[in-house]
Chain A
């Protein structure tokens, strides 16, 4: 699976949009981009995923560049409860393939 690169940490003011970048320059054609987050002492929470089109759900938006080499997770109105480690993961669609976690981005939302 392709490797991803994320900044180790980011800060965001409460109520503002949080834009978390992810580079995945070696992504291949059948690999999806997944975003998860982990709040301290909990299991990872699924946020959103996409293949090549931009996606939006009730939690966030995912913007994937046309060449698919990078993506951005957008939390439109960050709250204190969005403080967490955010993981960008690339994985193919083969059955039985696990998500492999990198170090992620620690997002700190402050009031």
Chain B
């Protein structure tokens, strides 16, 4: 089945550091990928929709200058958390859909980000 690979799986870094998370669709091409964030004991919250070759669409309340998204190819999208602070610590998950219509979205295993 369709596989989405996310890297790294966890990262710990100092406040002020920028962190890049990669999301790859391994066996299909994804013109659209999605980035979610999940805080402890809460559900997934959609952050942005990443479109290949164009600008990402951000959900209300998500700072586009803080969370930079690049979708340079049909199999790779990256999320960069710039100048990360402790409040950015969270579980970040990417997703992509294989095909159009009613095809399901497939999710990566997530990245646990801890900012000290």
| Contact residues, A57-99 vs B (CB, 8 A) | 87, 93, 95-96, 98-99
Q: Is the CB of B49 within 8 A of A43?
A: no
Cross-interface CB contact of B104 among A34, A100, A103, cutoff 8 Å = A34
Q: Which residues of B contact A32 (CB under 8 A)?
A: 102
Q: Is the CB of A100 within 8 A of B51?
A: no
Does A110 belong to the interface (CB within 8 Å)?
A: no
Does B95 belong to the interface (CB within 8 Å)?
A: yes
Distance in angstroms between the alpha carbons of A71 and B31 in the assembled complex: 30
Q: Which residues of B contact A96 (CB under 8 A)?
A: 31-32, 49, 51
Using a CB–CB cutoff of 8 Å, the interface residues on chain B facing chain A are: 4, 6, 31-32, 34, 36, 43-46, 49, 51, 91, 93, 95, 100-102, 104-110, 112
Using a CB–CB cutoff of 8 Å, the interface residues on chain A facing chain B are: 32, 34, 36, 38, 41-46, 49, 51, 87, 93, 95-96, 98-104
Q: Is the CB of A101 within 8 A of B109?
A: no
6 closest residue pairs by CB, A with B:
A43-B107, A101-B44, A32-B102, A98-B34, A101-B43, A96-B32
Q: Which residues of B contact A38 (CB under 8 A)?
A: 44
Q: Is the CB of B109 within 8 A of A43?
A: yes
Given A96-B49, A101-B43, A104-B43, A43-B6 contact (CB < 8 Å): yes
Q: Is the CB of B32 within 8 A of A100?
A: no
Distance in angstroms between the alpha carbons of A87 and B44 in the assembled complex: 10
Report the minimum CB–CB distance from B79 to chain A (whole Å): 14
Cross-interface CB contact of A42 among B4, B51, B101, B109, cutoff 8 Å = B109
Q: Is the CB of B46 within 8 A of A100?
A: yes
Measured CB to CB, the nearest residue on chain B to A103 is B43
Distance in angstroms between the alpha carbons of A43 and B44 in the assembled complex: 10
Report the minimum CB–CB distance from B3 to chain A (whole Å): 11
Report the minimum CB–CB distance from B81 to chain A (whole Å): 18
Report the minimum CB–CB distance from A2 to chain B (whole Å): 14
Distance in angstroms between the alpha carbons of A103 and B32 in the assembled complex: 24
Distance in angstroms between the alpha carbons of A42 and B107 in the assembled complex: 9
Q: Is the CB of A102 within 8 A of B43?
A: yes
17 A/B residue pairs, CB under 8 Å, sorted by A: A43-B4, A43-B93, A43-B95, A43-B108, A43-B110, A44-B93, A49-B102, A93-B102, A95-B31, A95-B32, A96-B49, A98-B34, A98-B95, A99-B34, A99-B46, A101-B36, A101-B44
